[in-house]
Amino acid sequence: MISEKVIVFTRYPEPGKTKTRLIPVLGKQGAANLHRLMAQRTIARTLSLQQNRRLSVEIHHTGGTQQLMQDWLGTDVIYQNQIDGDLGARMVFAFQKSFDSGVEKTVIIGTDCPDLKPEIMAQAFDKLSQHDLVLGPAKDGGYYLIGLRRSVPELFGGINWGTDDVFASTRAIAKNLALKIATLPTLADIDLPEDLLGLDMKMLK
């Protein structure tokens, strides 16, 4: 039994439906291409963890079909359609399914953070040996990573997703639930035009 799992939340890079807040500066195709490059880089880094840890990797996606996802990212990972509902509901479902399968530590990440390296993901799993919850805070007030040792649906209720207080709200709920919390380094997400400043597009290839 593999005891650790990384679940990557992403979207099939269809122009016009991906990175829509970047379309005004990059265009529909450019925004989709940026998402494609960031997702490929994140997933490659995640898979590299399997060289040193016994973990499984799943990609939970919106848009695209199983065949399109495999044509894009290969057949070495498990694909799962995200359920309907807000981000919180989708994460609750993903965590519950993971723990129901016998996994002991589950981490969910997105693909919007170019500085999320394998070492940080490994650190998240290590911290879960001593903590109930691990969070990777994003500079915009959200988080780029969340990890748990058991399903805690209450963590995801009443959160205003996409706002600058997601991390703070989640941390407050966790404290109220008496969870032992660990945090990772603060990193930047690429969501808005101003986030593109200083981004080296060549790094993503």
> pLDDT tens for residues 11-42?
999 999 999 999 999 999 999 999 999 999 99
Note the pTM of the prediction, 2 decimals. 0.94
Q: What would the pLDDT profile of 160-192 be if each residue is shown by its tens digit? A: 998 999 999 999 999 999 999 999 999 999 988
Question: Quick check: 201 pLDDT over 60?
Answer: no
Q: Match domain 4-196 to its CATH number in 3.40.1670.10, 3.20.20.150, 3.90.550.10, 1.10.287.3510.
A: 3.90.550.10
Residue by residue, DSSP assigns the chain as ---EEEEEEEE---TTTSSGGGHHHHHHHHHHHHHHHHHHHHHHHHHHGGGTS-EEEEEEEESS-HHHHHHHH-SSSEEEEPPSS-HHHHHHHHHHHHHHTT-SEEEEE-S--TT--HHHHHHHHHHTTT-SEEEEEBTTSSEEEEEESS--GGGGTT--TTSTTHHHHHHHHHHHTT--EEE---B----SGGGGTT--GGGG-
In this prediction, residue 200 has a pLDDT band, given cuts at 50, 70 and 90, of low
pLDDT of residue 154: 97
Question: What average pLDDT does this structure show over 68-95?
Answer: 95
Question: Quick check: 202 pLDDT over 70?
Answer: no
Q: Where are the domains of the chain?
A: 4-196
Q: What would the pLDDT profile of 85-134 be if each residue is shown by its tens digit? A: 999 999 999 999 999 999 999 999 999 999 999 999 999 999 999 999 99
pLDDT of residue 57: 95
